[in-house]
Amino acid sequence: MKPEVITAIIAAIVAVASAVISIYGQTRIARLTDQLAKQREAKSREAQTAAVMSRYRDPLLRSAIDLQSRLYNIHQNGFLERFFQRSPSAQSYAINNTLYVVAEYLGWVEILRREIQFLDLGDLELNRRLSELLVNINQGFAYYKGGAIFQLHNGEQRAIGEIMTVPRSSSEAIGYDCIGYATFVKKMSEPEFAGWFAMLRDDIETMGKASKIDAERLVLIHSKLIDLIDFLDPHHVRVPPKYRTRIEQK
């Protein structure tokens, strides 16, 4: 075979090999680029989730602490009875403040729900566990076997959460906020606003005047709130263990 033919064949083989290597390299680079893009997207979702959780963890945790503390004091320390035996102003405070700690918790749950629904959270265990804990508390309020005292159906919980939220300006880092206690007390003079709390207010008055009540629902909600607090503050940085005492069911 003539040298020039051999040279041409070798050149052709080299060209084909180069083309194959180039195509393989391009395909490899494309795959790596796609993998990196997916990894960045996943990290971005995780970062978004972490940002939302860090933004709302403290107010949600604080509201859960306040609510579980009130339920514990009602059940274990006779909070309502003690205040109802004092002056009318003390009784009014016991009613309004108890209503507020319930409403504030539901308000922050509603805010968190609004924020998370716009995020692609994938299958993050964090989100699944948080959703489970919030649902457990939701079901505790609606628990039909716990009697009629302190019961809030799902729709009522959502409605109270909605009326407790107010939007913040776009310049703020947070989209929504929950109204404060002073604003809450003022709005309770509005029939439309106060109407959502009518049954719960009657229940609080009943508990304040009764010597004994069916407290199964209070104990259930309190236990589920402790679960949420353990999740939000697993290392007891914000809430010491001694303030997480569960109510023993009798």
Residue 21 maps to a domain? no
Neighbour count for residue 60 (Cβ, 10 Å)? 24
Please give the average per-residue pLDDT across 114-143, as a whole number: 78
Q: Is the pLDDT of residue 207 over 60?
A: yes
Please give the average per-residue pLDDT across 190-199, as a whole number: 96
Q: Is the pLDDT of residue 224 over 50?
A: yes
Residue 223 maps to a domain? yes
DSSP track, 102-150:
HHHHHHHHHHHHHHHTTS--TT-HHHHHHHHHHHHHHHHHH-GGG-STT
- 194 contacts: CB under 8 Å, gap ≥ 6: 187, 188, 201
Q: Between 126 and 150, where is the model more confident?
A: 150
Please give the average per-residue pLDDT across 72-90, as a whole number: 93
| pLDDT value at residue 149 | 87
Residue 11 maps to a domain? no
Q: Between 25 and 222, where is the model more confident?
A: 222
Residue 249 maps to a domain? no
Task: Identify which of 112-116, 156-160, 176-180, 232-236 has the greatest average pLDDT.
Answer: 156-160
* Euclidean distance between CA atoms 9 and 11, whole angstroms: 5
* Residues 172-191 pLDDT 10s: 555 889 999 999 999 999 99
| pLDDT value at residue 20 | 65
Q: Which of 118-132, 155-169, 218-232 has the lowest mean pLDDT?
A: 118-132
- CB 188, CB 164: distance < 8 Å: no
Residue 52 maps to a domain? yes
- The number of distinct structural domains making up the chain is 1
Residue 141 maps to a domain? yes
Please give the average per-residue pLDDT across 91-102, as a whole number: 97
Please give the average per-residue pLDDT across 54-68, as a whole number: 89
Domain of 124? 44-243
Residue 38 maps to a domain? no
Tokens of 184: 């809450």
User: How deeply is 226 buried, as exposed, middle or buried, from its count of CB atoms within 10 A (0-12, 13-18, 19+)?
Assistant: buried
| pLDDT value at residue 140 | 95
Distance, first Cα to last Cα, the chain: 102
Neighbour count for residue 169 (Cβ, 10 Å)? 6
Please list, residue by residue across 24-33, b when 16 or more beta carbons sit within 10 angstroms of its beta carbon and e when fewer do: eeeeeeeeee
Helix/strand/coil percentages in the chain, nearest 5? 75, 0, 25
* Euclidean distance between CA atoms 218 and 200, whole angstroms: 13
Residue 121 maps to a domain? yes
Q: Is the pLDDT of residue 123 over 60?
A: no
Q: Is the pLDDT of residue 250 over 90?
A: no
